[in-house]
Amino acid sequence: MRTLIINLDGEKQRMAFQIDQMQRLGLDYKRLPAITVADIPAEEIAEKAAQWERPMRAAEVACLYSHCVAWKMVAKANKPMLILEDDALLSSQVPEILAKLDGYNSADHVTLEARSRKKILAHSPQKLTEKSNILRLFQDRTGAAAYILWPRGAEILLQKAAIAAGLADAIIAATYEMSSWQIEPAAAIQLDQCTAYGVGSPLETKSTIDSRTNQKPSPDGLFSSLKFKWRRIKAQLRMGLRQFSSQTKAGRRFVTVEIEDFQVHINR
């Protein structure tokens, strides 16, 4: 299974880290140059930024566009791919997980990631490898740093993003039409989560959504503010209904993380 790594041209240190990680794990990969704010017309950014639950930052719009490029590649190739942001830290279990999932036909989307927030997960896991389980994921909340996407899932996400922009992870989490699954123990964390999980970080990072590109378009009056508020309310209601409808077969909890699966990074 091919790995797509979303990487800004200026983030050479992150890409060097990813190349080392890919070579050490023996993964086939392709660098995907990230879309930048400069690549998108200002009017288009303003239009897309106003379509989510709050005004999006210009860099967040660019990040969504980068993921859309990856989704289009999956759809065109007509086979699943692992999509990574360039600050994703992978566990030693990933090669075996990818080998098992390469011919998996029960999923549209599988996340490898844990990010310090509870998820709604099926009570009954399925054995995937000797050390890894796969569970039906009914509700995620955040994180799009490491996930496998199948062609059907890619088509669904592209349709969603075309209707209304949003944070890439928010669109994925809210797309209940997909068959989404979770790997446990988590096989990936972002580098900014290393301390939270007691994993030594191999690289110091800073968010690429910096102060220059971090500004949100100002809502144009009361009507816009009410639109954003209503969208947030609707999103919360949908999540509440999702939790209620899945309560007999799933529960809300944290995804486990096995530190030893990342031990190779601590010793480097």
CATH number at residue 68: 3.90.550
**Predicted pLDDT at 203:** 84
**Predicted pLDDT at 264:** 62
Could you tell me the two tokens for 110? 């599988």
At residue 219, does pLDDT exceed 70? no
**Predicted pLDDT at 212:** 41
Q: How does residue 211 score in pLDDT terms, banded at 50, 70 and 90?
A: very low
- Mean pLDDT, rounded, of the chain: 91
**Predicted pLDDT at 230:** 80
Torsion of CA 19, 30, 144, 60, to 10 degrees: 100
Q: How does residue 208 score in pLDDT terms, banded at 50, 70 and 90?
A: low
At residue 217, does pLDDT exceed 80? no
CA distance 195 to 177: 34
At residue 100, does pLDDT exceed 90? yes
Average confidence (pLDDT) over 233-250: 87
CB 88 within 8 A of CB 165: no
Average confidence (pLDDT) over 170-184: 97
**Structural domain count of the chain:** 1
Q: Which among 100, 112, 98, 102 is positioned nearest to 140, based on CA atoms?
A: 112
Q: Which residue segment(s) compose the domain that 63 sits in?
A: 3-266
What is the pTM (predicted TM-score) of this model? 0.90
Residue with tokens 């009954």: 124
